[in-house]
Structure 1
Amino acid sequence: MPHSEEYVRKAVESAILELISADSLLLDANCSERSITHQLATHLSKHFTGYHVDCEYNRDGFEVKKLQLDERTVRADRLDAITVFPDIIVHVRGTSDANLLVVEVKKASSSVNNSYDIAKLQAFKTQLLYDFAVHVVIGYKRDGSFVNRQSWQ
């Protein structure tokens, strides 16, 4: 069931291209990030048989998924674990032994800084032992140019 880094990267790239081709209206109309991530998850699921591909899944086994991570709206010195809702994960539900991929998606039109998403992805890898993590920026920027960028963590 494990996949190589090359396979995972190619699968993500392929799923994104499938999204751009099959669901371009979501990007053209600047639909919500949730709409985009749902469809991306659908395309990812074709590449990861034997795994579950879930959006905003917040369980670690049967417990609420938490990370030692600063919230965006709290003091920088806060060290409490916070509940997290990753945009997309590829995993096997009910176990923490098969955490394959975590994906954070940002629309290219967003003015929100990516630093929190990047910190969250790195925490998923170090604290919840996900094998791979990628930050995807996709869609049209405010100037009308199209962006399709992946940043692997």
Structure 2
Amino acid sequence: MNIEQLDGCLREALEALFAEDGELLERDAAERSIGAKLAARLTQMFPEYHVDVEYDKHGLDPKRVDLPEYCRGGGRRRIIPDIVVHRRGIDDYNLLAIELKKETNRESRKCDRAKLEAMKRELNYQAGVLIDLPAGPRATERASELVWV
């Protein structure tokens, strides 16, 4: 599956999220809560894959990647991606890694992008995307920003 196809599926899932669970965005609910609802929609779109929220395993071991110095001091670090579309235990079928941030979260996105790049490089994910979600009053009237890495 190419980036354009993944982008189309992800935008369709986000549309459904906004339509059916937009209240979570309007209430500025936790990213985990929003991520779980997005993952449920992605599960329907990718029936041949597992769609997991905060999946922290690489085989039976913790998921670790090499991060640059500006991310928690750098080096080999344990990571917990927000959402992954993959087949558990098989690196050959790691399709998509997703990091979510709400616009109300003022943290830099630099480390999220670095984590996604490392997952592609070291864990064989085909694609990574950082999704900046609108949050707060009238959030559903604003668009999400998708940054593919």
Q: TM-score, normalised by structure 2?
A: 0.91
Aligned to 1:123: 118
Instruction: Quote the offset at 1:69 in angstroms.
Output: 1.0
CA distance in structure 2 between the aligned counterparts of 1:87 and 1:130, rounded to whole angstroms: 14
Answer with 62-71 or 36-45: which moved more: 62-71
**Cα distance change, pair 74–105 in 1 and its aligned pair in 2 (3 A):** closer
Q: TM-score, normalised by structure 1?
A: 0.88
CA distance in structure 1 between the aligned counterparts of 2:54 and 2:146, rounded to whole angstroms: 19
CA distance in structure 2 between the aligned counterparts of 1:143 and 1:112, rounded to whole angstroms: 22
Aligned partner letter, 1:149: E
Instruction: Quote the offset at 1:146 in angstroms.
Output: 3.0
Answer with 43-52 or 140-149: which moved more: 140-149
Aligned to 1:58: 56
Answer with 117-126 or 139-148: which moved more: 139-148
Aligned length: 148
Higher relative contact order (CA 8 A, sep 6+): 2
Give the alignment's Cα RMSD to 1 decimal.
Answer: 2.0
Instruction: Provide Cα deviations, 1:98-127, integer angstroms capped at 9, x if missing partner.
Output: 000000000011111110101111111111
CA distance in structure 1 between the aligned counterparts of 2:63 and 2:11, rounded to whole angstroms: 27
Instruction: Quote the offset at 1:129 in angstroms.
Output: 1.1
SS of residue in 1 equivalent to 2:16: helix
User: Identity of aligned pairs, percent?
Assistant: 32
Match 1:24 to one of 10, 22, 33? 22
Structure 1 moving runs of 4+ over 6 Å:
141-145
Instruction: Provide Cα deviations, 1:42-79, integer angstroms capped at 9, x if missing partner.
Output: 1111111110000110111222110011476744xx42
Aligned to 2:145: 149
Whether the 8 Å CA contact 1:108–1:147 is kept in 2: the answer is no
Matched, 1:139 2:96: no
Question: Which structure has more helix as a fraction of its residues?
Answer: 2
Aligned to 1:109: 104
CA distance in structure 1 between the aligned counterparts of 2:9 and 2:69, rounded to whole angstroms: 31
| 5+ residue gaps, structure 1 | none
